[in-house]
């Protein structure tokens, strides 16, 4: 999709979009009144008949008389002016994407739309991101639509959007960031959507290698190297699979003036069958997206590189497939992690924490980062607590967690602080090993998983995001249709921008 920024309306027959704040009575915004005169009151009539008040996520489409230069006008509601935030702007973009699916081109006119909290150029960029996010679709395996050009009803025809704003250069500068975020989100969503027969540790590692074309340094650790490093917990998970594990390291060195680095670690279980503790069919059917933590870390690194972020960041992902077979690890097996700690694997389906134990240790040991953030579809329990809207946040740093919570509210990717406590350590103490990977007791599933991870970060400031609930959505939402959301790319890009550049 193409986005243009100009300071003047196009001089051609076109569809024009205007923004509308919520007001008690349906009224035509002042800047559309001269148009309304030209069109003999068509606009006012439509406002009245449809009782359109500028409510959020609503829009009003009006067909204009032949005599005018404008074929259709769309008014996009933004909700109440005093509480307008970026999430609502993104969602307005999402609503527009739906309203514009049958248009090839359109103009979004923000020339006379002014509010205190956002410049028209910022509004244009948030709308653009919202449009792109809602328009994302995954059609690689739809042969009919590709070959015969049969249109799918849910696929947008929109090719070009022109924003009319007072300062097009400023809008274009901001758009470098917007486009980079969109690319990162799409990379994450594409990887999560790929079927597990196509996307497995090796094939995913090769896709990530491709980030080198944006200046990212990518190294792949093969099985032999992983063995040499002593990542026994990660290796244990992958034992049942015929596919070798991979650890991929993506370095973006954007700030040569410092050695300081921030590390992002991702769970990359390309398929989680549960292993010998096999999942039920309904629990297993979408377990291809158990690599979303890794996908989002990769998307983030791409975003940082694409906008040439002045930060040193490293993304490290542990890629494995969790399968049952004659070579699988068994409940009761004891593995030795890279840290030296031993773990009794009492449930082979609690595998994410085993993978992360070794990758987190690797990150803190070799990079000594200022902060390490891991992302993982770690527990089903987190969606019991928080559903598909808030991610669970666990941290040993009050300072960094406050900052991330604040950033979440700013961009509309929200995180909720849940507790860690020494109290829970008792529940993970092993009988004949240092640790066990699950507790003998019921309850606190997400906390226990986080508490387990804490054993492998030393004293490094650390944030764990359990994204099992938010990584995938089952319903159509303002910015997503059913499927992967790319949650975390926008959030962490903004967090890096605000606190590390
Ligand atoms: N990958 C799952 C967690 C998950 C569940 C992600 C649903 C997305 C949607 C994880 O590996 C897992 O199976 N966790 C178990 C842990 C349990 C055995 C202690 C769970 O949540 O049931
Ligand atoms: Zn599992
Ligand atoms: Zn899993």
Nearest ligand 1 atom to the CA of 277 is: 18
Helix, strand, coil fractions of the chain, as percent rounded to 5: 40, 20, 40
pLDDT reading at 382 higher than 60 = yes
Tokens 């990542």 belong to which residue?
231
Tell me the pLDDT tens digit for each residue of 448-494.
999 999 999 999 999 999 999 999 999 999 999 999 999 999 999 99
Mind telling me the catalytic residues?
Answer: 279, 353
**What separation in Å is there between the alpha carbon of 292 and the centre of ligand 1?**
13
Tell me, what's the pLDDT at 148? 54
Measured by CA distance, the residue closest to atom 16 of ligand 1 is 350
Tell me the pLDDT tens digit for each residue of 212-223.
999 999 999 999
pLDDT reading at 18 higher than 90 = yes
Measured by CA distance, the residue closest to atom 18 of ligand 1 is 350
Tell me the pLDDT tens digit for each residue of 114-157.
888 999 999 999 999 999 999 999 999 998 765 555 555 567 89
CA distances from 4 to 31, 125, 159, 160, 164 (A): 22, 11, 11, 8, 8
Nearest ligand 1 atom to the CA of 283 is: 7
Nearest ligand 1 atom to the CA of 438 is: 19
Which helix (H) or strand (E) segment is 98 a member of? helix 86-99
**What separation in Å is there between the alpha carbon of 274 and the centre of ligand 1?**
8
CA distances from 72 to 4, 108, 177 (A): 20, 12, 31
Q: pLDDT > 70: what percent of the chain?
A: 98
Tell me the pLDDT tens digit for each residue of 172-194.
999 999 999 999 999 999 999 99
Measured by CA distance, the residue closest to atom 17 of ligand 1 is 350
**What separation in Å is there between the alpha carbon of 47 and the centre of ligand 2?**
52
Angle between helices 489-499 and 292-306 (to 10 degrees): 50
Question: Taking CB atoms and a 6 Å cutoff, what residues make up the pocket around ligand 1?
Answer: 272, 290, 347, 349-352, 377, 379-381, 438, 445, 468
Tell me the pLDDT tens digit for each residue of 286-342.
999 999 999 999 999 999 999 999 999 999 999 999 999 999 999 999 999 999 999
**What separation in Å is there between the alpha carbon of 206 and the centre of ligand 1?**
27
User: Ligand 1, from 349, 386, 388, 467: best to mutate by most atoms within 8 Å of Cβ?
Assistant: 349
Q: Which of 92-101, 140-149, 279-288 has the lowest mean pLDDT?
A: 140-149
Report helix, strand or coil for 479: coil
Tell me, what's the pLDDT at 68? 87
């Amino acid at each position: 999709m193409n986005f243009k920024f100009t300071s003047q309306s196009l001089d051609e027959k076109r569809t024009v979009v205007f923004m509308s704040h919520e007001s008690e009575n349906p009224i035509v915004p002042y800047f559309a009144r001269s148009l309304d005169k030209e069109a003999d009151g068509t606009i006012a009539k439509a406002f009245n008949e449809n009782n359109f008040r500028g409510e959020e996520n609503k829009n009003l489409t009006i067909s204009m008389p032949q005599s005018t230069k404008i074929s259709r006008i769309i008014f996009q509601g933004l909700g109440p002016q005093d509480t307008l935030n970026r999430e609502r702007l993104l969602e307005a973009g999402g609503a527009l994407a739906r309203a514009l699916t049958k248009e090839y081109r359109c103009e979004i006119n923000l020339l006379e739309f002014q509010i205190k909290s956002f410049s028209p150029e910022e509004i244009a960029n948030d709308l653009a991101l919202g449009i792109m996010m809602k328009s994302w679709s995954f059609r690689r395996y739809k042969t009919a639509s590709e070959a015969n050009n049969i249109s799918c009803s849910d696929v947008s025809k929109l090719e070009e959007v022109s924003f009319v704003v007072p300062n097009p250069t400023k809008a274009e500068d901001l758009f470098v960031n917007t486009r980079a975020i969109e690319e990162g989100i799409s990379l994450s969503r594409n990887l999560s959507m790929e079927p597990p027969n196509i996307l497995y540790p090796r094939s995913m590692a090769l896709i990530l290698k491709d980030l080198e074309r944006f200046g990212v340094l990518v190294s792949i650790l093969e099985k032999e190297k992983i063995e040499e490093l002593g990542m026994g917990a990660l290796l244990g998970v992958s034992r049942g699979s015929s596919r070798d594990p991979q650890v991929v390291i993506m370095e973006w060195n954007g700030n040569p003036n410092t050695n300081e680095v921030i590390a992002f670690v991702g769970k990359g279980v390309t398929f989680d069958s549960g292993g010998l503790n096999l999942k039920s069919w309904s629990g297993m059917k979408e377990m291809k997206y158990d690599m979303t933590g890794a996908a989002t870390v990769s998307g983030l690194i791409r975003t940082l590189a694409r906008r040439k972020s002045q930060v040193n960041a490293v993304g490290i992902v542990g890629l494995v497939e969790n399968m049952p077979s004659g070579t699988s690890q068994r409940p009761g097996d004891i593995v030795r992690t890279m840290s030296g700690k031993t773990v009794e694997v009492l449930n082979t389906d609690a595998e994410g924490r085993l993978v992360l134990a070794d990758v987190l240790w690797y990150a803190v040991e070799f990079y000594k980062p200022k902060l390490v953030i891991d992302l993982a579809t770690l527990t089903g329990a987190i969606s019991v607590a928080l559903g598909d809207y808030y991610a669970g946040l666990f941290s040993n740093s009050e300072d960094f967690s406050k900052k991330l919570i604040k950033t979440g509210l700013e961009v509309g990717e929200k995180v909720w602080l849940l507790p860690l406590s020494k109290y829970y350590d008792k529940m993970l103490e092993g009988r004949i090993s240092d640790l066990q990977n699950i507790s003998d007791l019921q309850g606190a599933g997400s906390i226990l998983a986080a508490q387990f991870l804490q054993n492998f970060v030393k004293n490094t400031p650390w944030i764990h995001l359990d994204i099992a609930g938010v990584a995938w959505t089952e319903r159509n939402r303002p910015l997503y249709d059913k499927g992967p959301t790319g949650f975390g790319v926008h959030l962490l890009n903004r967090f890096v921008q605000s606190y590390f550049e």
